[in-house]
Each structure stands twice: as structure tokens, then as C-alpha cells.
Amino acid sequence: MAKWLYLVGAIVLEVSATLALRQLVDHAGWIVLVVVGYGGAFLCLALLLRTGAPIGLSYGVWAASGVALTAVLAAVLYGDPLTWLMSLGIAIVIGGVLLVEMGASTHSRQAPPTGPIATVAATPGDTTEEPR
């Protein structure tokens, strides 16, 4: 449950900070929300990774959600364009994240490695390595 809270927090904070950038153009006071939003987003991402969430999947969901929400909210709040081609691009990004997630799920069902050093280093007395 904490993983989802960290991820949603990171997404909401990042989208808020990005939308505040638009307001910053006219009103310098919005810098506070920009700095706090981006800082908080990265803090939430760090906490998410601390729970053991894979970085590729976490970043992919965060980035794709940020792109999609920012584009939609910018269209609603600021009248930015949201064309069918942009919508298609958002759908492709989301599809890509789903493929990354499916790949991560497939990988997690495999036996876990014994460790990065153990898989590449020969053990003492191991003569199975070919001579150079």
C-alpha cells in the first residue's frame, strides 16, 4: 500500500510543479510550488525505490502518468491543444509502460540471481574456466 501512496504522491507533486511552471511566467511566487513539487516528487520516488520497487517500472509509470496528466490538465486549465495525434502519443507511451511492467513481471517469476558478483566471478578452486 505504501508503494502506491509514494507513486501517486510523486505523480501529483510532479504534475503540480509542472503546471505551476506556467504560472511562474507571470507570477514569481509560484516558484515555491515548483521547487517543493519537484523536490517532493523526487523524495517520493526515492521512498518508493526504498520499498523495493523496480526503478525502470517506477520511473516509467511516473513519467507516463506525468505526461498524460500534464497534457490533459494543461488543455483544461490553460486551453493548450490536445489533438488526436497527441492523444495517440500518450496512448503509445502508456502502452510502452505496460510492456515494461509485463516484462518486469515475467522477470520476477524467474529464480532470483544469487548476486552480481557470484554470477560473474569464479569461485576459488574452480577449474571450469577456459584458459586464456
**pLDDT tens for the 132 residues of the chain, in order:** 889 899 999 999 999 999 999 999 999 999 999 999 999 999 999 999 999 998 988 998 999 999 999 999 999 999 999 999 999 999 998 888 888 878 877 765 554 555 555 444 444 554 555 554
Q: What is the pLDDT of residue 118?
A: 45
Give CA angle at 2 (112, 106), nearest 5°: 30
The C-alpha cell that represents 76 in the structure block: 483544461
Q: What is the pLDDT of residue 108?
A: 59
- By the 8 A CB rule, do 17 and 41 touch? yes
Q: What is the pLDDT of residue 125?
A: 53
Cα gap 57→103, rounded to integer Å:
9
Quick check: helix, strand or coil at residue 83?
Answer: coil
- By the 8 A CB rule, do 55 and 91 touch? no
Q: What is the pTM (predicted TM-score) of this model?
A: 0.74
The C-alpha cell that represents 101 in the structure block: 511492467
